[in-house]
Copies of this chain bind each other. A is one copy, B any other.
């Protein structure tokens, strides 16, 4: 049963990917624990880039429209997906959301996954890149405890660095765990709240776009 579900998911994901590529849209599956700051980070990016990078957002949550409402203050291209009891997004959620987005008007699509460090990792949505988000208040052990998100992510973000002075967090241990699990992963440290480091994240996204055009 599980194999069939995954196979059906992969077929839909491939179609999503084709559709996004045909429109020239780079897509990022943003994964992380509930409360690590995924929505705040998207807001910070939207506030920074303006019309130079046209961004759409698919926001996944079990319940409520709250993320879409927050993001709608900065983007006209946002779709909320409510999964009910579903612990992760699947390709069919993204397919349904793409039907409601004008891809021709976008350069970048953030797919904000359901807040969960575990279940989203195994599901291809059709994204170009998976980005994993950790937070400084979540503890320095979270990479080691969640190896699969580290292994599958092209970029790992450490958010909430503005709170580092107020919590115990061993940066060296955290970075060591990441590099041991995924030597190819890039790591950026930032704060969606203060904006520190967000420009570097935007720059990373632009580089990914240019690499794909070339």
- A→B interface (CB under 8 Å): 1, 33-36, 61-64, 66, 85, 87, 114-119, 122, 134-135, 137-139, 141-142, 144-148, 160, 162-163, 166-168, 193
Q: Is the CB of A118 within 8 A of B163?
A: no
From the candidates B62, B134, B144, B167, name the one contacting A146 in the complex (CB within 8 A): B62
CA distance A1 to B115 in the complex (A): 26
Q: Is the CB of A35 within 8 A of B138?
A: yes
CA distance A137 to B166 in the complex (A): 12
Nearest B residue to A1 via CB reads B1
- By secondary structure, the A interface counts as loop
Chain B hits for A122, CB < 8 A: 85
Copies per complex?
A: 2
A35-B33, A114-B118, A119-B119 known; A144-B87 Cβ under 8 A: no
Nearest B residue to A33 via CB reads B34
Q: Is the CB of B163 within 8 A of A64?
A: no
From the candidates B87, B134, B141, name the one contacting A119 in the complex (CB within 8 A): B87
Q: Is the CB of A34 within 8 A of B142?
A: yes
Q: Is the CB of B64 within 8 A of A141?
A: yes
From the candidates B62, B87, B147, name the one contacting A62 in the complex (CB within 8 A): B147
Q: Is the CB of A167 within 8 A of B193?
A: yes
Q: Is the CB of A34 within 8 A of B145?
A: yes
Q: Is the CB of A33 within 8 A of B139?
A: no
Q: Which of A117, A163, A193 has the most CB of B within 10 A?
A: A117
Q: Is the CB of B62 within 8 A of A118?
A: yes
From the candidates B35, B87, B116, name the one contacting A139 in the complex (CB within 8 A): B35
From the candidates B116, B167, B168, name the one contacting A116 in the complex (CB within 8 A): B116
Chain B hits for A118, CB < 8 A: 62, 85, 87, 114, 116, 119
A116-B117, A147-B63 known; A34-B87 Cβ under 8 A: no
Chain B hits for A36, CB < 8 A: 35, 138
CA distance A66 to B170 in the complex (A): 14
Q: Is the CB of A66 within 8 A of B1?
A: no
A100 smallest CB distance to B (angstroms): 21
